[in-house]
Amino acid sequence: MTGLIDPAVQTVARRHLADVTEALSAFGPAADLAASWGRRLAPVLLGGGRLLVVGNGGSAAQAQHLSSEVVGRYRDDRPPFSAVAVHTEPSALTAIANDYGIEEMFARQVQAHGRPGDVCVLLSTSGRSPNVVVAAERARRCGLLTWAMTGPTPNPLAAVCDETLAVSARTTATVQELHLVALHVLCEAFDEALEAAPGAVTS
């Protein structure tokens, strides 16, 4: 079957796989950080706190992926927990962008929904999206813990967040692919922490 594939197509595929493999080879510390985040998120949500997730474009899709895993489930059945991907409220987004400008579209929602002690995860492959950076600054001002997921550092988002999971990769696609790996590691560690918590409820 391989012989039937156009060599040019094969070159594209192998180049993409090489980029992913190179980035994965240095991903261990980032994966460890993602697991740490999952373990630390568990007591926050068990205590009635909330997870807010922020991102644009492909990062918005991953933000929604994370919130769905927390509200639904990652692997095994368990209770739902509060998690909101703030881009999923189109009426609020368009109203805020119209009245306050695009840089406020996430920050105002973070301010509305977040409470001191909550967690805000902010995704940006470049780390330079102004509306995500402003949301991080607002979250910290409101007493939320801020965790950034970005591409290579330094970048403005990493500079304003409490902690940063940075992916060292040349392309946006590879950064997003490893962000998804990190999100799944976070979810797995979160579920394990729930199971280990005193008086854990598993369904």
Helix ranges, 51-197 (H):
57-71, 90-100, 107-113, 130-141, 156-160, 172-196
pLDDT in tens, 30-59: 999 999 999 999 999 999 999 999 999 999
pTM of the model: 0.93
pLDDT, tens digit only, all 203 positions of the chain = 455 677 777 888 999 999 999 999 999 999 999 999 999 999 999 999 999 999 999 999 999 999 999 999 999 999 999 999 999 999 999 999 999 999 999 999 999 999 999 999 999 999 999 999 999 999 999 999 999 999 999 999 999 999 999 999 989 999 999 999 999 999 999 999 999 987 665 55
The residues facing 54 across adjacent strands are 122
3-state secondary structure of 146: strand
pLDDT in tens, 116-128: 999 999 999 999 9
Specify the CATH number of the domain 27-194. Answer: 3.40.50.10490
Going by C-alpha positions, the residue among 88, 82, 85, 66 that lies closest to residue 181 is 66
Going by C-alpha positions, the residue among 131, 140, 168 that lies closest to residue 56 is 131
- Residue 185: how many other CB atoms lie within 10 Å: 21
Give the C-alpha separation, 24 to 169, whole Å.
Answer: 9
Of the CA atoms within 13 Å of residue 80, those in its CB half-sphere come to 7
